[in-house]
Structure 1
Amino acid sequence: MPATPSTRIDHFFSGAEARLDRWRELSRAVQVWAAKNDAASRTAVNTALKELLPFEDFQAYPGTRLVASMRDRIKAGDTVGSARIVQRISASLMSRAYRSEAGEWETEDEQSGGGERQMPTASGDPSARPYFEVLVVAPSPSQKWPAQIQNMRKLRRNLDAFIYEPVIVGNFEDAVLGAMLNTNVQSVLIYDGFPFASTHNAPVMRQFLMAYLDIKADDLAPHDYGVRLAQAIKKIRPELDIFLLSDRNAEAIAADPAADCVSRVFYDVEEPLEIHLSILQGVQDRYATPFFDNLKKYAQKPVGTFHALPVARGKSIFKSNWIRDMGEFYGPTLFLAESSATSGGLDSLLEPTGNIKKGQEMAARAFGCDHVFWVTNGTSTSNKMVEQALLQPGDIVVVDRNCHKSHHYGCVLAGAQPYYVEAFPMTEYSMYGGVPVREIKKALLDLKAAGRLAKVKMVILTNCTFDGHVYNTKRVMEECLAIKPDLIFLWDEAWFGFARFSPFYRGRTGMGARDELKRAFKDPAYNEAYKAQAAKFGKDLNPKDKRLLDARLIPDPKKVKLRIYSTTSTHKSMSALRQGSQIHVGDEEFHTVIESFHESVFTHASTSPNQQIIASLDIARRQMELEGYELVMRSIQLALELRRSVNNHPLVSKYFRMLSVEEMVPSEFRPSGMKDHIQDGITWMDAVKSIRDDEFVLDPTRLTLMCGTAGFDGTQFKGILASEYGIQLNKTSRNSVLFQTNINNTRSDVANLMKVLVEIAKKVDDTLTNGDENTRKTFNARVKSLVEDVPNLPNFSYFHDKFRDNPKGTTLEGHMREAFYMAYNPEGCEHVKLFSSEADKRARGGLPLVSANFVIPYPPGFPIMVPGQVIKPDTIEFMRKLDVKEIHGYDKDLGLKLISPAALGEGRRKAAAAKARPAAKKVARKAKKARK
């Protein structure tokens, strides 16, 4: 009989959470059985057990003996004993006590001294040694696996820094399942000679193997399984160490370029201790935190400080009569670990040569790039570092108009000309999505038609956006490089740093797409595809060929240069202190810009960086390499649960709803047809199809809650949650708020939020139920004003002719730096009231309104005016409808700050035009008379 969807182990974003849910279900079922002891409750126990057991084939704990003991009690009808053992195992899994407590691995007979003890730890303090599991892929019969596990346990030594338990599977597909479902796995040991097919019911897994991993059993010879499995696991979890044991020519396998994903190749099992030590060393290499380790040692040294940092060592605090409470609050270690020195085991962030340099190299390995630069003053600074390093005055930058303000300021600092491209609007929610690739291509082709393509240096896009819109980074870069093969890409991934550690989203990151493009460019089939494109459109694409905008373009793999940078706010999605950021570099031409890059670092980086922020960047990398996969997948699962809970709750969904993929991403960008993450029957394969095919996908950890339908604007609802319920969030729109799940969240957090939403919904419902007709009319009018009467979102207009190289041209770039600094001269500026007839008259065609500075309302949080921009009526109308309190760059008492017409030469231009009109009319009359 085919399994029902609920019993299939391949239907979940997070296998770890799905497994724990099944243990909870079994625990509840056995407790009911113990209380009732009837046939129905026993059937429920057997059903729950049947759904759970397939998960346990991929886990070390509770292990075969504890599982067998549990099954025996259930089979014997021992209700009390069954409840006791299930509850004990379940509690150990939830608390993770099994990772450090040897007694958790024992059966009840062993605990009473009646059997052999099965201990996961060697002697000594078990809590001092981190625990992990090793996935072993073995061709031997399953009956021999217990003995194999015992042989591996015998290799343990008291000197070992870590403790691990083996988990054995017997085929290719189960090995992939094990790597995905068991988040404790840190190493994989592959014995050659295993079969391919799984013994589990996993049809979606086979589709996943074919679609995501491009693996078909028929295309592989059995002797290729080992290396191909290593490649497959590395694509899912690149952080894992993989060791291959073969009885064939181990030297030849090790020398094969296809085996570069294998940490080490052994000849069969001739060196079991060496294998054991290699496993431990691989984890040690990821566990090490060079800067943090040295900072801990430094904090324990007796140091005399004669530098300019009084808080170092904490004496000025702990000996103070007035600020000792600061020391009590933070503790002594913070101050012992403070220093402005770069010697004595520490290092310089500006020119690292020691442990910071080593830590950055380890971060580059973890995040899949060539170089990493740590930044201690936020991604705003990271963005400006990259832009000042790579851009020169006059360079053109194609940039999302809705990007973070640091990019706009970066263009000012570098003197680059921004060419603004527009994201697709979501007017009903007063927010923007991402920039369609068609718009980016059009900008590049227009610039090429105008003879300006050579000036284009960089494309800057936000991935993912604050609201969760994730680009198809591979497609964007391919299509842009097809038009200009040496373009530099800066992906602002401030909110997306965690994506590297999810197999679903890694390929949608800048560096993940870079890996895919590097492989694609080496494929002969790719070169043939390019030749076919060249035959159809020509090698030098004609910018006037309208077919290019809708064609899927690819670059010439022989000419293209991959120059990719990404910036990430490590503190926004990983365990780093506030302002901790990183620059990731994947630039084939980095050697040509390394000097200017370092100069830019010197320009923007503090000469007194915070030691604790640097240490937290080091620690964040360690955590993500060792448990990032588990934490990220869990945060996705929590987001799905929260989305489902809100939208399916009978009362909450009456007034609130989490916006779906369908509502957040227009259909033209979703060829996969994905409508929602919580559709009935959605599988990994559906997610893979969407990620592979769609131009934009929605990050499920971004949950936009529509609150306008409950009569709250976003700012108001955010305030209520914070002041009355202690729930904090960042982003709001006119009628929504944004919740984010991250690696810090728990199921308790989700439960608390749901409780709060139920309480608020009940208050709204009671008010409407108990109120009079006027109350309901007022409520409906409020909802209408928030949900229906929304202002149109203005697009960027154009730069004033004074700031354009070619005023008569058709392209949109402009010298924003010049306009920015013109505003520093008060005599060249003026103010015009927003609510004035003058503003209306000039916006519609009088003397132009030209912005002197950036105007950034929060929300939506992007510049609706930039220096040098001509302000049109739609922008004026949008500002008048804004009901937000925070608008940077706008003084409501003075009005709009503008560059005056006189400073722009508008008076002289008008006079010259008026003087020329009579002469022009006279010439026209003569020409008309001559024609007659």
Structure 2
Amino acid sequence: MKTESAGDQHLDHLFSSSAARMDRWRDLNAAAQAWAAGGRGGDSRGSGAPVREALAIVRPMESYFAYPGGRLLRLLDERIADDDARGAGRLILRISNALLSGSYRYEEGAWEDGEDDAADVPDRIPPGLRAEAARRPYFETLFVTPAPAARTAAMAGEIRELRRRDDNMIYEPVMVGNFEDALLAAVLNGKLEAVVIYDGIPVPSDQDVPLLREFLNVYQDLDTRNTAPRDVGLKLAQVIKGIRPELDIYLLTDRRVEELAGNPDAAMVRRVFYEVEEPMEVHLNVLEGVADRYATPYFDNLKRYATRPISTFHALPIARGKSIIKSNWIRDFGEFYGLNLFLAETSATTGGLDSMLEPTGNIKVAQEKFARAVGADHVFFVTNGTSTSNKMVYQAVTKPGDIVIVDRNCHKSHHYGMVLSGAQPLYVEAFPMTEYSMYGAVPLRTIKKALLDLKAEGRLDRVAMITLTNCTFDGHIYNTRRVMEECLAIKPDLIFLWDEAWFGFARWSPFLRPRTAMGAAQALQRWRDDPAALQAWEAQAQEFGEDLRPDDDRLLDRRLVPDPRAMRIRVYETDSVHKSMSSLRQGSIVAVRDEDYDHHVSAFREAVFIHASTSPNAQIIGSLDIARRQMELEGYELVMRAIEVALAIRREIARHPLISKYFSVLGADKMVPEEFRPSGFVDYLEPGANWMTAARALLEDEFCLDPTRLTLVCGTAGYDGTAFKNLLASKYNIQLNKTSRNSVLLQSNINNTRSDVALLIKVLLEIAEDIDGRLKAEGEAGQAAFAGKVRNLMEDVPNLPNFSRFHDGYREDPGSVTLEGNMRAAFFAAYDEAECEYLPLRSPSMDERLANGPALVSANFVIPYPPGFPIMVPGQIIDADTIEFMRKLDVKEIHGYNAARGLKLIKPDAIEEGGLAM
């Protein structure tokens, strides 16, 4: 990532504006305090140059934030002009402290000109103001007006005068005067919740924004060059909605508002006002729009329920907490969690609490709000994890005999989902990263070939769905729109299930959102409605014919276009809300954007009945409601900070001479083969790289990396992934999830801060120093042993096995070139222990069977952790590559494998007798 020099004032912090802004204020504060300290010992005149230079860097970005505002900045200018080092230092310290702590949002003194020492200390806030702050959340509203600059300060004052004691929130205006500055404010200022646009605004900014203009050129639908001056305001509304869809947008015009309000292009505008109307209406609408996002119908009612005097005669003894608080033996349970947890527990669905199985009240409204937030038609809450969300989708949209094209490396819930529904998996393989003992993602060419092979054999009609993991555990993100576009060109009614368990936060990043299932589905819908879509399909039809021939190899390497008249948009997205948002564990959703959903609505309801608990946890439901509220109101800023944290980790590891000697974070060049990166993007830290380079990769490449997921190679430090994970947890209190043979996965999320980065870097440095010290002390012998260990971890790695095939006894057409199989039949065949056998992994019998037969057929799923996906599934023929991989595994946790007995196999004669009959 390109770093900013002291004299670089370009406002191009498209991802890292929060950290960049605070860093600038930190530098300004350091210069001011040095100036003030020098002034105490004598004449400080003329020594304020560093402060002036630092302030010149700070100032351009400040025009896009309400605080500290023009008045305090003018006061600062006056003190600097008067060479008042002490006064300037005190004011800068007060402002920077207020920005760092956020106290300006609830402390009136932070906005004042006074010299009260209490204002310098954010903790010295009267209790009354703290209480008032809790009642009146603070946000900022962008006003985009063509009024002269001399008039905007007065306009801001008039807006502030509209405040009333009855307002349940308080906002500060941010005033800008043109299209580009408005766009910059939306990008840079995460505190914005609403935008008010006056007609007649100009386009260009006075700021130096080369990357912003390149951004507009890359995303052609954001280009303003062909926009009539009269329509610039409406175009700005469209652009801002494309970047931050959660913002409420209001348009003020002197045109015929009735006609504009009925314009389909104005659909993203919450309300259109006639410009000369009462400003109070605009003010009230701004507050109402934010209040609508703030409202959490289920959680709000749960809080009210907890305050009611209720006697319970249902089967939930902990409800109301009396059995706990009055106990002599488990009172500490209540003291630990607090009484509210138990007051809010109930088995009832009356009293406004609603039913998860048949929601008609506040759960229904909460789900509708979540659907709006993620761009879906429907959202369903799930309180037992995304494993259940996935199974629900399979149960609802597939049936026995359907074929599902699925990534073999997907989460086990998908495999079990097909066992339950009877759908037959056709496994497709991801590209391997053998050096790091992990898989990437499935190339589009592989998926297209599977579809075309099925078409050639006359079974395309049986393909119901394509299932892919986006993003993968290791951070590989698909080009979701292109995958769906090209697959729909071959079969226009395909259903897509995108498992985005780890990617739910991406909705709130303008760069990552297009790669989400819901974002891509929305883009496909817009493309289909454009007359150019039909023209593109007709041009393709002239070259390849209207019905694509499956034996035409050119189709595999050409970008295919679906027929917009025939294609259906049928997209399901499952999100583990608890993995990337502020939800309790097991909080998940199913997001639906399916034009034919009504055909499945009864089946989906049945799937909910099958899989959902009849006693769902009320606290998890409440946390899903709260998670949506937070992300709609501050998700953009939180996700931006999570990316900043990840970049800081990458940067500090790469540039530290000792840490980088033993550890490294893999870039795209190591994680994504070059053939899938036409943009040429290498890494965020590559010399000369900037966010526009990354944006092009996110727009164009077949696969890109989630910037918040970092694969830290520890094998070069002599640690396997499991040992390093255990070391971090046991000695340094650092927890993480995933490991591989020679790496661990670090994730930044909305919970992390730069303090976490500092701790991690400190720990890595301590470990690196320990390694360095030991190697010096142990001499050549120790160094040779260390080199051998590194070589074993980094070079002597097992080959990664691909899926072999299903046994012919579990295939309808053993002669077919496609490899789908009846996994359900094999799964239930293994229930009869008499029809199964066990074979030790390292026995001579195993090698004999591999060499001479009969075939080894897996009786169940075998799932090592890591890598965490099935390397054997029921009915699969186990080949020598898979056995070699199992023998080289050095992990302790392998689900489905009993080391004492060996691999569980279906006996050959049982397959001949049973097979597909089951």
TM-score range, shorter chain: over 0.9
Q: What corresponds to 1:694 in structure 2?
A: 701
- Whether the aligned pair in 2 keeps the contact of 1:713 and 1:786 (CA below 8 Å) is yes
Q: What corresponds to 1:630 in structure 2?
A: 637
Q: Which amino acid aligns with 2:94?
A: R
Quick one: distance in 2 between partners of 1:11 and 1:160? 34
TM-fit CA distance, 1:681: 3.9
Q: What corresponds to 1:75 in structure 2?
A: 81
- Whether the aligned pair in 1 keeps the contact of 2:14 and 2:188 (CA below 8 Å) is no
Establish whether residue 9 from structure 1 lines up as the match of residue 3 from structure 2. Answer: no
Q: What corresponds to 1:28 in structure 2?
A: 30
Quick one: distance in 2 between partners of 1:517 and 1:658? 35
Q: Structure 1 residues 124, 716: CA separation in 2 closer, same or farther (over 3 Å shift)?
A: closer
Q: What corresponds to 1:682 in structure 2?
A: 689
Quick one: distance in 1 between partners of 2:832 and 2:130? 75
Establish whether residue 237 from structure 1 lines up as the match of residue 252 from structure 2. Answer: no
TM-fit CA distance, 1:840: 1.9
| CA deviations over 1:674-715 (Å, ceiling 9, x no partner) | 100122343332122111110001001001100000000000
Establish whether residue 708 from structure 1 lines up as the match of residue 710 from structure 2. Answer: no
Establish whether residue 461 from structure 1 lines up as the match of residue 463 from structure 2. Answer: no
**Selected match of 2:747 from 740, 752, 755:** 740
Matches within 5 A, 1:305-384: 305-384=312-391
Establish whether residue 47 from structure 1 lines up as the match of residue 53 from structure 2. Answer: yes
Q: What corresponds to 1:828 in structure 2?
A: 835
Q: What corresponds to 2:873 in structure 1?
A: 866
Quick one: distance in 1 between partners of 2:576 and 2:419? 22
Q: What corresponds to 1:215 in structure 2?
A: 222
Q: What corresponds to 1:647 in structure 2?
A: 654
**Selected match of 2:436 from 395, 419, 429:** 429
Q: Structure 1 residues 773, 258: CA separation in 2 closer, same or farther (over 3 Å shift)?
A: same
Matches within 5 A, 1:121-270: 125-212=132-219, 214-270=221-277
Of 508-517 and 15-24, the range deviating more from structure 2? 15-24
| CA deviations over 1:583-622 (Å, ceiling 9, x no partner) | 0000000001000000000000000000000000000000
TM-fit CA distance, 1:3: 9.5
Helix, strand or coil at the partner of 2:321: helix
Quick one: distance in 2 between partners of 1:893 and 1:684? 53
- Whether the aligned pair in 1 keeps the contact of 2:478 and 2:704 (CA below 8 Å) is yes
Quick one: distance in 1 between partners of 2:37 and 2:689? 36
Quick one: distance in 2 between partners of 1:362 and 1:182? 24
Quick one: distance in 2 between partners of 1:165 and 1:519? 35
Establish whether residue 89 from structure 1 lines up as the match of residue 89 from structure 2. Answer: no
Q: Which amino acid aligns with 2:683?
A: D
TM-fit CA distance, 1:30: 1.5
Q: Which amino acid aligns with 2:721?
A: G
| CA deviations over 1:790-821 (Å, ceiling 9, x no partner) | 00000000000000000111110000000001
Q: What corresponds to 1:107 in structure 2?
A: 113
TM-fit CA distance, 1:74: 2.1
Q: Structure 1 residues 41, 861: CA separation in 2 closer, same or farther (over 3 Å shift)?
A: farther
TM-fit CA distance, 1:20: 1.0
Q: Which amino acid aligns with 2:112?
A: E
Helix, strand or coil at the partner of 2:48: helix
Helix, strand or coil at the partner of 1:242: strand
Quick one: distance in 2 between partners of 1:587 and 1:669? 29
TM-fit CA distance, 1:75: 2.6
- Whether the aligned pair in 2 keeps the contact of 1:122 and 1:156 (CA below 8 Å) is no
TM-fit CA distance, 1:500: 0.4
Helix, strand or coil at the partner of 2:222: coil
Quick one: distance in 2 between partners of 1:586 and 1:216? 28
- Whether the aligned pair in 1 keeps the contact of 2:7 and 2:57 (CA below 8 Å) is no
Quick one: distance in 2 between partners of 1:383 and 1:765? 47
Q: Which amino acid aligns with 1:288?
A: A
Q: Structure 1 residues 337, 906: CA separation in 2 closer, same or farther (over 3 Å shift)?
A: closer
TM-fit CA distance, 1:524: 1.0
Of 23-32 and 805-814, the range deviating more from structure 2? 23-32
Helix, strand or coil at the partner of 1:625: helix
TM-fit CA distance, 1:34: 2.5
- Whether the aligned pair in 1 keeps the contact of 2:470 and 2:498 (CA below 8 Å) is yes
| CA deviations over 1:647-686 (Å, ceiling 9, x no partner) | 1111100000111111111111111111001223433321
Matches within 5 A, 1:664-679: 664-679=671-686
Helix, strand or coil at the partner of 2:574: strand
TM-fit CA distance, 1:345: 1.7
Quick one: distance in 2 between partners of 1:712 and 1:282? 53
| CA deviations over 1:194-229 (Å, ceiling 9, x no partner) | 110001000111111222363333301110011100
Quick one: distance in 2 between partners of 1:24 and 1:310? 54
Helix, strand or coil at the partner of 1:230: helix
Q: What corresponds to 2:125 in structure 1?
A: none
Quick one: distance in 1 between partners of 2:888 and 2:389? 34
Quick one: distance in 2 between partners of 1:899 and 1:628? 50
Quick one: distance in 1 between partners of 2:389 and 2:505? 17
Quick one: distance in 1 between partners of 2:131 and 2:893? 58
- Whether the aligned pair in 1 keeps the contact of 2:319 and 2:344 (CA below 8 Å) is yes
| CA deviations over 1:408-459 (Å, ceiling 9, x no partner) | 0000000110000000100000000110000000111111111111110000
Quick one: distance in 1 between partners of 2:56 and 2:158? 30
Quick one: distance in 2 between partners of 1:897 and 1:122? 67
- Whether the aligned pair in 1 keeps the contact of 2:17 and 2:188 (CA below 8 Å) is yes
**Selected match of 1:66 from 72, 77, 82:** 72
TM-fit CA distance, 1:773: 1.8
Q: What corresponds to 1:792 in structure 2?
A: 799
Helix, strand or coil at the partner of 2:314: coil
Establish whether residue 580 from structure 1 lines up as the match of residue 587 from structure 2. Answer: yes
Quick one: distance in 1 between partners of 2:342 and 2:81? 60
Q: What corresponds to 1:283 in structure 2?
A: 290
Helix, strand or coil at the partner of 1:470: strand
| CA deviations over 1:551-584 (Å, ceiling 9, x no partner) | 1001000000000000000000000000000000
TM-fit CA distance, 1:110: 9.4
| CA deviations over 1:450-469 (Å, ceiling 9, x no partner) | 11111100000000001000
**Selected match of 1:620 from 581, 603, 627:** 627
**Selected match of 1:779 from 747, 761, 786:** 786
- Whether the aligned pair in 1 keeps the contact of 2:13 and 2:20 (CA below 8 Å) is no
- Whether the aligned pair in 2 keeps the contact of 1:707 and 1:737 (CA below 8 Å) is yes
- Whether the aligned pair in 2 keeps the contact of 1:227 and 1:259 (CA below 8 Å) is yes
**Selected match of 1:884 from 884, 891, 905:** 891
Q: Which amino acid aligns with 1:594?
A: V
Q: What corresponds to 1:768 in structure 2?
A: 775
- Whether the aligned pair in 2 keeps the contact of 1:494 and 1:569 (CA below 8 Å) is yes
TM-fit CA distance, 1:84: 1.0
**Selected match of 1:552 from 535, 550, 559:** 559
TM-fit CA distance, 1:336: 0.3
- Whether the aligned pair in 1 keeps the contact of 2:14 and 2:187 (CA below 8 Å) is no
Of 478-487 and 79-88, the range deviating more from structure 2? 79-88
Quick one: distance in 2 between partners of 1:41 and 1:455? 78
- Whether the aligned pair in 1 keeps the contact of 2:224 and 2:235 (CA below 8 Å) is no
Q: Structure 1 residues 867, 82: CA separation in 2 closer, same or farther (over 3 Å shift)?
A: same
TM-fit CA distance, 1:126: 3.8
- Whether the aligned pair in 2 keeps the contact of 1:29 and 1:41 (CA below 8 Å) is no
Q: Structure 1 residues 112, 571: CA separation in 2 closer, same or farther (over 3 Å shift)?
A: closer
Q: What corresponds to 2:21 in structure 1?
A: 19
Q: Which amino acid aligns with 1:385?
A: M
Q: Structure 1 residues 285, 97: CA separation in 2 closer, same or farther (over 3 Å shift)?
A: same
**Selected match of 1:403 from 410, 413, 432:** 410
Helix, strand or coil at the partner of 1:835: coil
